Amino acid sequence: MGTPRILQREVGVGGLMAQPGPVVAAGTGPVRAYLDHAATTPMHPLAVEAMLPYLAGVFGNPSGGHLESRRARRAVDDARQHVATSFGADLGDVVFTSGGTESDNLAVVGGWEARVGRALPGHRPPALVCAAMEHHAVLATCRALARRTGAELREIGTGEDGLIDLDALADACTPDVGLVSVMAVNNEIGTVQPLDAVSAVVRAGAPDALLHTDAVQAVPWLETAPLTARADLVSISAHKFGGPKGVGALVVAPGVGVRPLFHGGGQERERRSGTHNVPGIVALSAALAVAESSRPATVARVSALRDRLGDGILGSVPGTVETGGREHRVAGSLHLRFTGVEAEALVILLDRAGLSVSAGAACSSGAVEVSHVLTSMGLPADEAAGGIRMSLGATTSDDEVDLALAVVPGAVGQLRD
């Protein structure tokens, strides 16, 4: 076998160089297509370039007072200012974290605990409300918090279109609610939730509640500032938009209290102690800049690729159903259900054919369970078991879509036979 190589075509997008692909040809082996950008994205070269000086030369701890520390702190402050500007927030509103999971936990637990003091003596603690299709970083956190504290958790289902049931949300949002969490974009089927309507419902029925939105999947596709305007707490993660893994942020609205999950040196205005991940924070900012400048062109190009992929598979594979309407989904998301096929087996077969996709969200073991997202939409377990997520991104190429169109029909047919 020869040395793997990356085949890339450079095109100008928004004044920056984006690189559709990668399509990887491993020696004489098959060409691969990566359609799992919702799990993680390739790091953008400018993000890599931005972080390199802080992996070696500029090594200081930002919490110190000497020259090396001041250089590192200046880099963190510049990145913080950029994130704040992008989300229409103030400089002090940005809390850097280790990623989306920590941001979600800090928002749900820290935000809810900051509301506990408002509960009347002798009454139950404030209730929690979340969408039943939330990422497990929110859903599991809400459930654990409810078990630990005795707070009531109200999980809200969705319709067949993947949008939250606003009537059920209105019923759940009573004055005793302390926190509501509704994600901006679903990680599995890509639906964009109507945050304007969600915010109106929450403010009317639960005026003392904090509204959190997991915006981890939103940054590549949606303008970010409106998200902050609607929510009190907004979570993001760098590796979903061309940055490194292990760094994210929570944007906190002015005047909103968040109790820390752990204690230490008091960094991030005592909301998140711990030495700053300076290289990661700098790279997050650089990746965010690329995503912002290239977003309009990326959305237009990827939408066309997604539609060609979806229409091609629906037209060539009988018994295929698309989950949710495209008008409610971000450009990079395509979720299909194949009658009579187990998703996990199809993922393995497609991987052998050179196509990387997923069945539901990524988890630590690589195993796949029946999707809670699909069951929250009212789909029976046997139908949900055949769901495949194909998620495109800024680097997706025509060649990758062509490969997917070539191998999916045969793989589905093989499993059905």
Of 250, 271, 289, the one marking the end of a domain is 289
Give the CATH number, domain containing residue 225.
3.40.640.10
Q: Is there a catalytic annotation at residue 363?
A: yes
Active-site position among 130, 142, 173, 363: 363
Here the CATH number for the domain that contains residue 336 is 3.90.1150.10
Residues 84 and 194 in one domain: yes
pTM of the model: 0.90
CA distance 242 to 18: 11
Q: CA 220, CA 223: separation in Å to the nearest integer? A: 9
Query: 410 and 329: one domain?
Result: yes
Q: What phi and psi, each to the nearest 5 degrees, are found at residue 254? A: -55, 135
For residues 103 and 249, the answer to whether their CB atoms sit within 8 Å is: yes
- Domain's final residue, options 236, 267, 289: 289
Handedness of CA 4, 7, 13, 17 (dihedral sign): positive
pLDDT at 383: 81
> Are 370 and 328 members of one domain?
yes
**DSSP structure string for 170-216:** HHH--TTEEEEE--SB-TTT-BBP-HHHHHHHHHHH-TT-EEEEE-T
Of the three residues 223, 258, 289, the one that is the final residue of a domain is 289
Q: Give, as one character, the DSSP assignment of residue 36.
A: B
pLDDT in tens, 245-254: 999 999 999 9
- Whether 140 and 159 map to the same domain: the answer is yes
**What angle is formed at CA 270 by the lines to CA 264 and CA 276, rounded to 5 degrees?**
70
**In degrees rounded to 5, what are phi and psi of residue 175?**
-60, -20
Token pair listed for 59: 């090594």
What gap in Å lies between CA 338 and CA 399, rounded to an integer?
23
Domain that holds residue 328: 5-43+295-416
- Element containing residue 403 per DSSP (H, E): helix 398-416
Task: Going residue by residue through the chain, which has 417 residues, state the pLDDT in tens, using 9 for 90 and above.
Answer: 332 222 232 323 223 334 444 444 433 345 799 999 999 999 999 999 999 999 988 999 999 999 999 999 999 999 999 999 999 999 999 999 999 999 999 999 999 999 886 555 567 899 999 999 999 999 999 999 999 999 999 999 999 899 999 999 999 999 999 999 999 999 999 999 999 999 999 999 999 999 999 999 999 999 999 988 999 999 999 999 999 999 999 999 999 999 999 999 999 999 999 999 999 999 999 999 999 999 999 999 999 999 999 999 999 999 999 998 899 999 999 999 999 999 999 999 999 999 999 986 555 455 556 789 988 888 888 888 889 999 999 999 999 999 999 999 999 999 998
